[in-house]
Amino acid sequence: MRIRRFLLLALQIHDVYTFTSKIRVERWRGSIPRKEIDSESVNVVQRLSISQWKPLYAFKPSDMFLEGPPIETKPVYEDIHGPLGQGLDRIFLRVFRTKMANLIGKEMDSSLPADDYQGLMELTSNMNKKYSQAECQALSQMVLCSLFPDLILNNFGWMFAKPFPEFSRKMNAWATFYAGVWLMGEVEINDCEIDGEGNNEDGEVTIGKNQGLLVKRCRFLEESGCASVCVNSCKIPTQNFFRENMGLPLTMEPDYETGECQFSFGLTPSLEQELAAINTPCLARCPSSMASKRKHLSKSASAMESQEKMKIESSDNRCYMMEDPTSEVTGSKSIG
């Protein structure tokens, strides 16, 4: 505990020193007026005093992380099976993990049995450690594509999604309901917001009846314990898969505090929602939190200056695996 407090204090002092050094250089160059420098110095110091210079014993995990759903109420996921039964769930898991290992490299796979869920988590973690976020998104989308024959991928959009949008939305919601429990845990079909003329600034939205899917507590998120893995290995690649390969828009809205995730088939993701997902803080139990201690325990002056601009770089409490300045927010990147 003493070491942690010392490190935190050292990081705070470093931030102030870095900022004041920058001010001295700029002042020497004459690039900004002295009055403006002094005014900005006061503002930054005031902000530092409010957000950082409080007693070290007053810091709580909630200041730096999202707590996530309580461990005490964690479901026994091994006892939760899809409507098709435990046997098919194991087959789905085995096929999915085999496809994923073949694509990203068998040497990255776990030594656990092919139908062991923890083995899939280890494989996913290894992928996120090795590749950038854009590459993880692209690889995960390719894994989804490998699960379907080209006949479906090449024709679903013009045969079903465009001429029969409501039918397509319901069909995909039900398909996920039957085949996705092994991956996500308990789910239920529900109504959801969809694209339509009713969506306007007055708050009116178009609702699709039985065209959404609610994941009550996502196993993939809970077992990975990482917001970055959720965003880069599930949310964005799945949305891209349905939009680009199936011709059907999809918005996934994970709630990192409760573990819920809302699938809205037929709803195009907004840029604001995607930025919010990417900028989400680490979970308190995130396995990468120690590697990102610098980002989690301090707030740099440069981040403070730009936090109102809603840029990805301004979020200094994100999981370090969220960082990838060359990637796009919702796009995918080819591998190789």
Kindly tell me the number of DSSP H helices and DSSP E strands found in the chain: 14, 4
What integer pLDDT is reported at residue 11 of this predicted model? 56
Q: Is the pLDDT assigned to residue 322 strictly greater than 50?
A: yes
C-alpha–C-alpha distance, residues 40 and 43, integer Å:
5
What integer pLDDT is reported at residue 281 of this predicted model? 82
Question: Is residue 110 a contact partner of residue 101, using CB atoms and an 8 Å limit?
Answer: no
Edge to edge, the sheet with strand 187-194 lists 187-194, 206-215, 261-265, 250-254
Q: Which two tokens stand for residue 132?
A: 């950038």
What average pLDDT does the segment 104-123 reach?
Answer: 95
What integer pLDDT is reported at residue 284 of this predicted model? 82
Q: Which two tokens stand for residue 248?
A: 């059907």
β-bridge mates for residue 188, sequence order: 214
SS3 63: helix
Q: Is the pLDDT assigned to residue 196 strictly greater than 50?
A: yes
Pick from 288-297, 299-308, 313-322 the range whose average pLDDT is largest.
Answer: 313-322
C-alpha–C-alpha distance, residues 12 and 284, integer Å:
21
What integer pLDDT is reported at residue 183 of this predicted model? 97
Q: Is the pLDDT assigned to residue 13 strictly greater than 60?
A: no
What residue spans define the domains of the chain? 80-197+204-298
- The DSSP letter of residue 72 is G
C-alpha–C-alpha distance, residues 117 and 6, integer Å:
39
C-alpha–C-alpha distance, residues 59 and 52, integer Å:
9
Name the pTM for this structure. Answer: 0.71
What average pLDDT does the segment 193-206 reach?
Answer: 76
Residues 6+ apart with CB under 8 A from 102: none
What integer pLDDT is reported at residue 277 of this predicted model? 81
- The pairing of beta strand 250-254 with beta strand 206-215: unpaired
HSE, CB side, 13 Å, CA atoms: give it for residue 166.
7
Measured between alpha carbons, how far is residue 329 from residues 116, 133, 255, 333 in Å?
32, 10, 19, 11
What integer pLDDT is reported at residue 202 of this predicted model? 63
* Residues counted in the chain: 336
More confident residue, 75 or 330: 75
The CB density around residue 96, as the number of other CB atoms within 10 Å, is 18
Residue with tokens 């490998």: 146
pLDDT tens-digit readout, 19-58: 444 544 444 445 444 444 444 444 443 444 434 444 444 4
